[in-house]
Amino acid sequence: MMKVDEVAVRHPGKPRVNALARIRKTRVARLALVSVLFRVAIARSATPSGALPFEASSWKAADRLFRTDPRWLGGDCAYSVDLGQGRVLWLFGDSFIARRPGSGRSTSTMVHNSIAIENGYDPSTASMNFYWRTRRGKARAFAPGRGDAWLWPSDGVRLGSRLLLFFTRVRPDKNRNSLGFQNSGWAAFLVNHPDRSLATWVLHRVKAPSNPWHVILGAAVIDENGYIDVFGFKEPSHSAYLVRWPAAKAAHGDMSSPEWWCGKLGWMRQADIKQPPPAVIESASTEFTVQRVPQLRKYIEVQSAGFGASEIAIRLADRLEGPWSRSMKVYRPPESNRPGAFVYAGKAHPGLLGADVVITYVANSFIDGALERNMNLYFPCFVRLNFSP
């Protein structure tokens, strides 16, 4: 069994922290409802000139969604995938699973990933069913790794009767100057009949080619115009790249011939590319989301900006390929103002109702023992982002 101090706790979008040395130095207490009004001037490269007014506020009424299972005691990452008909899949990273209802984190197992189904698109009124695998009565990750590698979830997409999910493959790193892990690639899986019970889901690994540029794919996935467009990142710059596959082929597990966005050269098959493709977003993150905002008729990229005391930041673009606007900070989580702040995992959730863009983040702390002392820590927090007409 994996114990609390035997696993790695991560900072999506920034290096993860080795729990052997840092587990007791993570997680921050959540604060009360805060509403902040911002006016942001967006760069000419991707937006109209002038100011774009909007409002970003915490959404405490929706936060209770993650606190409805007495054994699921918090998790980070928090990607979501719209499954249709009012069902939303949530994918969490390192998650605390209590041995029994009522027990705390100090005796819990932390698994590297878990999932849940939200029933209803408004998180303030929806219900949630959490799921992880068990073996001999012990909690296990939903998506198991291989050998010494484990999987942290990335984005996914519903493709007809199948579900395509991406994960980042991670291995331990014993270098004394590292944070105890290293991202070592990516994996993709298909799930047949995702409308059935979670207990019946079987992950079918998709054979996908590696790339010579060591770009880890799956950070954000968009399904449109007959293609799935997939963003990936490269270490250590965290710059974002764009790849696509025909959706019909991807739905059948054929991801053998990716096409990369190559700037002035347009889309090119990986086999025909002679030099590294250009990044579409410089200095992005290892985890972020991209979606289209009808009110703006633009795409929005959402991420956490900064390490420790971070803020929610956005970029806008007319096309997925860019050009993207400069990063603009739109919301400062109140937890970023606390001592030992460690706030991360900012991303949006297409399909959810209640705001023009529904966002979550995770607030932690570097203060020793904070995670064990306060059971209000380490649950995703909702933010509502609304744009003025």
pLDDT over 90 (residue 10): no
- Alpha helices by DSSP H, the chain: 19-22, 60-63, 247-251, 370-373
Return the top range by mean pLDDT from 25-29, 52-56, 73-77: 73-77
Q: What per-residue confidence (pLDDT) applies to 51?
A: 62
pLDDT per position as a tens digit, 263-283? 999 999 999 999 999 999 999
Which of 346, 208, 363 is closest to 286 using CA atoms? 346
The tokens describing 172, both together, are 């331990």
Per-residue pLDDT tens over the stretch 326-340: 999 999 999 999 999
Mean pLDDT of 155-184: 89
Compute the average pLDDT of residues 158-170.
97
CB 89 within 8 A of CB 156: yes
Question: Given a cut of 70, is residue 42 above it in pLDDT?
Answer: no
Q: Are 157 and 81 in contact (CB under 8 A)?
A: yes
* pLDDT the model gives residue 388: 82
DSSP string covering 263-280:
GGG-EEEGGG--SPPPPS
Q: What is the pLDDT of residue 70?
A: 96
Tokens representing residue 155 in the block: 């984005």
CA–CA dist 213, 216 (Å, integer) = 9
How far apart (Å, rounded) are the C-alpha atoms in residues 381 and 76? 10
Least confident of 6-10, 53-57, 164-168, 203-207: 6-10
User: What CATH number is associated with residue 371?
Assistant: 2.115.10.20
Structural domain range at position 188: 4-387
Length reported for the chain: 389
Residue 1 has pLDDT above 80, yes or no: no
Averaged confidence pLDDT in the chain? 87
**pLDDT band at residue 374, thresholds of 50, 70 and 90?**
confident
- Per the CB < 8 A criterion, the answer to whether 278 and 232 are in contact is no
Q: How far apart are CA 344 and CA 357, in angstroms?
A: 18
Q: Which residues contact 58 (CB under 8 A, 6 or more apart)?
A: 33, 34, 35, 333, 334, 381, 382, 383, 384
Query: Using CB atoms within 10 A of its CB, is residue 39 exposed (0-12), middle (13-18) or buried (19+)?
Result: exposed
Percent of the chain with pLDDT over 90: 77
Which position has the higher pLDDT, 183 or 31?
Answer: 183
pLDDT of residue 380: 97
Q: What is the pLDDT of residue 387?
A: 94
| Beta-carbon contacts of residue 136 (< 8 Å; ≥ 6 apart) | none
Phi, psi of 270 (to 5 degrees): -55, -40
Task: Work out how many domains the chain is built from and give that number.
Answer: 1
